[in-house]
Amino acid sequence: MLRSTQPDTNDTAPLARQPLSRAPLVPEPLLHRHNCLIPGDTRFRAAARLRQSLWREEQCLPGGLHRPGGCSKIAPSPLGSLLQPTDAARGLNFLSPAVHAFVRRSLVLREEGAMVHYERLHRNLLSSEPLTYNLFVPLAVNLDLATAAFRQLLPTFVDRVTGIRFETSPGRHDPRYLADGTAFDAALTVITPDGEPATVFIEVKYSEGCTGPAATHRPRYDEASREAALHRDPDAPALRSVLLEQFWRLHLLAQLAVRQGFTPRAHLLVLAPQLNRRVGIATRLYAAELTDPSGSSSSTVGFTALTLETFVTALAQAGGGAEAAYLHHRYLDLRPVLDLVLGEVATPDDEPPPAAPLLALPPPSSATPSDALPSDVPITPTISPGSTTDPDKPSSTPRARRFAARKTTSRPPRSRQVKAPSKARRRSAPSSAAGRLIEEAR
């Protein structure tokens, strides 16, 4: 008898081995049961919040309490992605007691004006602040490990790592820089393959969705953007959008550090999880605005965006296997979330909510090359910057958001006479490339 060559549809093992291409959509009742339902969370942030809650439960730690918006008039409620103060004081948000000890010393010796949110750093399991320390303290105390990892990550820029600083800036309120307090999460002093001293400035993202709030715009930003000559159009509205403005400011600050002689050369590195598709799209759009993303000239600060998965793999291959395993399990492995969702008994009320859309992106520079990004889907405005919600300051309920979505999509727009665009407006017409990338993140 001939055996069927068809795969066994009941065998889910092959599916279990496949990497996730998106963060799981988590039903609101499941988030609620784990005290992780926060209005305004993006798809990835909701899944990551639940992952941190599950990790806390693995450590047999009770969840903490929070007051939405920090309002003392509101009774505190449980939040699965928070530690209790006593556990936070023990340093349980960090990879090891050694990392916690390093953090304590770092805080005591921090730079003047450094913005450190003590509660967020020690209690918030979802925050990128403790993640930054968990990523880089093992490298700061073992520069050979740091060198081996960054030779893989930035081989054309790093030959040797000589030091690591945290929450650092070449000049927070110095008028020669941006004079606004902008700082980097970390900075590596390095020696390039050419034997020249240089700096790798680093921005770490975890669950953030590049949704703001944006920094108050200052005329100094416009001046610095024109002076830096990093972008195809230094006055492009896209650079000033909520989606891109932080990368723009950080890149300007790094370029000013070179111009002011703070460091002979520099490179800006952004790290974020692969499944945080919003950050991935934002960095791709930002890179498309640059004239020289690689920083081929010694006077130009290059820009690189890598996934946290790439960093963790390099760390493991460099000899930091234990640290890499911790980082992958705690921050990057969302399969326990998927398993929890699939283990639910599906009901009509358990349908996951739609993922919140990205913020509308202002028109990119007209000089952006047509082949840099796809080009057949127009940008459609979605949410204004003022309507975004902070996870700790919810301003709407899920029902209200669903009602608003129905209201905005069920009624056709009123017809009105539209004037023909001027030449200037035609030159800055919205790029359909950005539209397609934004659609990919939804």
Q: What is the pLDDT of residues 310-347, one digit of tens each?
A: 999 999 999 999 999 999 999 999 999 999 999 987 66
Asked if 401 and 237 count as a contact pair (C-beta separation under 8 A), the reply is no
* Residues 178-182, mean pLDDT to the nearest whole number: 92
Question: 319: phi > 0 → left, psi -120 to 50 → alpha, else beta; which?
Answer: left
The beta strands (E) that lie in 273-368 are given as 302-307
- Residue matched to tokens 């390093």: 102
* Residues 211-223, mean pLDDT to the nearest whole number: 90
| pLDDT the model gives residue 63 | 97
| Chain centre distance of CA 181 | 20
Contact partners, residue 297, CB within 8 Å, separation at least 6: none
Residue 384 pLDDT level (bands cut at 50, 70, 90): very low
Residue 435 pLDDT level (bands cut at 50, 70, 90): low
Containing structural domain, residue 118:
28-342
| pLDDT the model gives residue 330 | 98
Asked if 275 and 309 count as a contact pair (C-beta separation under 8 A), the reply is no
DSSP designation for 390: B
Residue 210, both tokens? 């590049």
Mean pLDDT of the chain: 82
Q: What number of other Cβ atoms are within 10 A of residue 375's Cβ?
A: 14
Note whether residue 290 is domain-resident.
yes
Asked if 278 and 44 count as a contact pair (C-beta separation under 8 A), the reply is yes
Of residues 171, 164, 110, the one with CA closest to residue 138: 164
| pLDDT the model gives residue 17 | 65
Q: Which one has a higher pLDDT value, 130 or 427?
A: 130
DSSP designation for 37: -
267 vs 201: CA distance, rounded Å = 6
User: Which ranges constitute the DSSP H helices of 154-244?
Assistant: 219-228
Note whether residue 1 is domain-resident.
no
Q: Using a pLDDT cut of 90, give the percent of the chain over it.
A: 66
CA dihedral 394, 398, 404, 410 (to 10 degrees): 160
In terms of DSSP bridges, do strands 77-83 and 184-191 run parallel, antiparallel, or are they unpaired?
unpaired
| pLDDT the model gives residue 282 | 97
Of residues 205, 260, 195, the one with CA closest to residue 227: 260
430 vs 126: CA distance, rounded Å = 34
Note whether residue 437 is domain-resident.
no
355 vs 104: CA distance, rounded Å = 38
Residue 241 pLDDT level (bands cut at 50, 70, 90): very high
Decide if pLDDT at 269 tops 60: yes
For the whole model, what pTM was predicted? 0.80
Q: Using a pLDDT cut of 70, give the percent of the chain over it.
A: 74
Note whether residue 335 is domain-resident.
yes
Residue 331, both tokens? 């921050």
Asked if 116 and 107 count as a contact pair (C-beta separation under 8 A), the reply is yes
- Residue matched to tokens 């598709």: 277
Over the Cα atoms of the chain, what is R_g? 23
DSSP string for residues in 90-141 = TTTTSSSHHHHHHHHHHHHTPPTT----HHHHHHBTT-HHHHHHHHHHHHHT
Contact partners, residue 410, CB within 8 Å, separation at least 6: none
Decide if pLDDT at 399 tops 80: no
| pLDDT the model gives residue 66 | 87
Domain count, the chain: 1
Asked if 348 and 28 count as a contact pair (C-beta separation under 8 A), the reply is no
Note whether residue 381 is domain-resident.
no
Decide if pLDDT at 116 tops 80: yes
235 vs 232: CA distance, rounded Å = 9
Of residues 167, 125, 84, 152, the one with CA closest to residue 330: 125
DSSP designation for 328: I
From 121-125, 152-156, 217-221, 419-423, the region with the lowest mean pLDDT: 419-423
Of residues 87, 98, 95, the one with CA closest to residue 122: 87
Asked if 69 and 352 count as a contact pair (C-beta separation under 8 A), the reply is no
Q: Which one has a higher pLDDT value, 175 or 387?
A: 175
Q: What number of other Cβ atoms are within 10 A of residue 91's Cβ?
A: 18
Q: Which one has a higher pLDDT value, 46 or 217?
A: 46
Note whether residue 428 is domain-resident.
no
The angle formed by the CA atoms of residues 87, 91 and 95, to the nearest 5 degrees, is: 120
Note whether residue 154 is domain-resident.
yes
Note whether residue 433 is domain-resident.
no
